[in-house]
């Protein structure tokens, strides 16, 4: 029995000694562990909730979040973005109720106070808001991105939230 215990201790010690040489699996985009920043935040990932700075409502159906009129997120700067720039992407849904109540809704983003072109949606559906971000705006790591909608659905009935758009993911990817 003592020989088995010593043998297990030797195997465990050898395994621990080899850990620094092992490569970590990066995981799928948007996956993260608690406290680890990512460059793409999936709203379905509870570990990335710490990157949601403001203006996001609770996760719904384990997959998405409503926003308020203004919302902000912190994203890990992608490799080489400081030299080459990056692409900001927001995967979003405009629900039918939004168009029924508001007719249109416009989304705009800014980094360091520099606005990126807005986009206006006039039909329900799934969309990707995509904008090139110049390298000059990507000096910080993490990168704070601020968003603003021109209007939201005001609170109605028992729901006391202002409802903007439904967001599935927000990310910065290499140019």
**Is the torsion defined by CA of 112, 113, 119, 124 positive or negative?**
positive
84 in any annotated domain: yes
Range of the domain at 117: 28-174
Count of the separate structural domains present in the chain: 1
- Looking at residue 27, its pLDDT comes to 37
CA dihedral 41, 50, 138, 129 (to 10 degrees): 40
Q: What is the CATH number of the domain that holds 116?
A: 2.60.120.260
Instruction: Give me the chain's average pLDDT, please.
Output: 84
Dist. CA 46–CA 19, nearest whole Å = 27
11 in any annotated domain: no
- Looking at residue 16, its pLDDT comes to 29
- The better pLDDT of the pair 113, 36 is held by 113
Dist. CA 107–CA 118, nearest whole Å = 5
164 in any annotated domain: yes
Distance of CA 51 to CAs 14, 99, 160, Å?
37, 29, 24
22 in any annotated domain: no
Global confidence as pTM: 0.80
Dist. CA 141–CA 110, nearest whole Å = 16
pLDDT tens-place string over residues 25-65:
233 444 445 568 999 999 999 998 999 999 999 999 999 99
pLDDT tens-place string over residues 75-98:
999 999 999 999 999 999 999 999
23 in any annotated domain: no
92 in any annotated domain: yes
pLDDT tens-place string over residues 125-142:
999 999 999 999 999 999
Give yes or no for a contact between 92 and 127, defined as CB atoms under 8 angstroms apart.
Answer: yes
118 in any annotated domain: yes
Does residue 156 have a pLDDT over 70? yes
119 in any annotated domain: yes
């Amino acid at each position: 029995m003592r020989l088995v215990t010593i043998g297990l201790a030797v195997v465990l010690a050898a395994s621990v000694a080899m850990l620094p040489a092992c490569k970590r699996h990066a995981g799928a985009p948007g996956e993260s562990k608690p406290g680890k920043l990512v460059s793409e935040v999936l709203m379905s990932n509870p570990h990335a909730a710490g990157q949601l700075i403001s203006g996001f409502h609770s996760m719904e159906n384990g997959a998405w979040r409503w926003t308020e009129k203004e919302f902000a997120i912190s994203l890990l700067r992608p490799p080489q973005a400081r030299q080459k720039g990056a692409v900001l992407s927001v995967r979003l849904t405009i629900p039918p109720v939004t168009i029924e109540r508001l007719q249109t809704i416009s989304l705009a983003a800014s980094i360091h106070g520099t606005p990126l072109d807005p986009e206006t949606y006039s039909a329900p559906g799934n969309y990707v808001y995509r904008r090139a971000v110049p390298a000059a705006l990507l000096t910080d790591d993490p990168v704070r991105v601020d968003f603003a909608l021109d209007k939201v659905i005001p609170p109605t009935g028992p729901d006391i939230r202002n409802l903007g758009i439904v967001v599935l993911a927000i990310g910065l990817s290499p140019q």
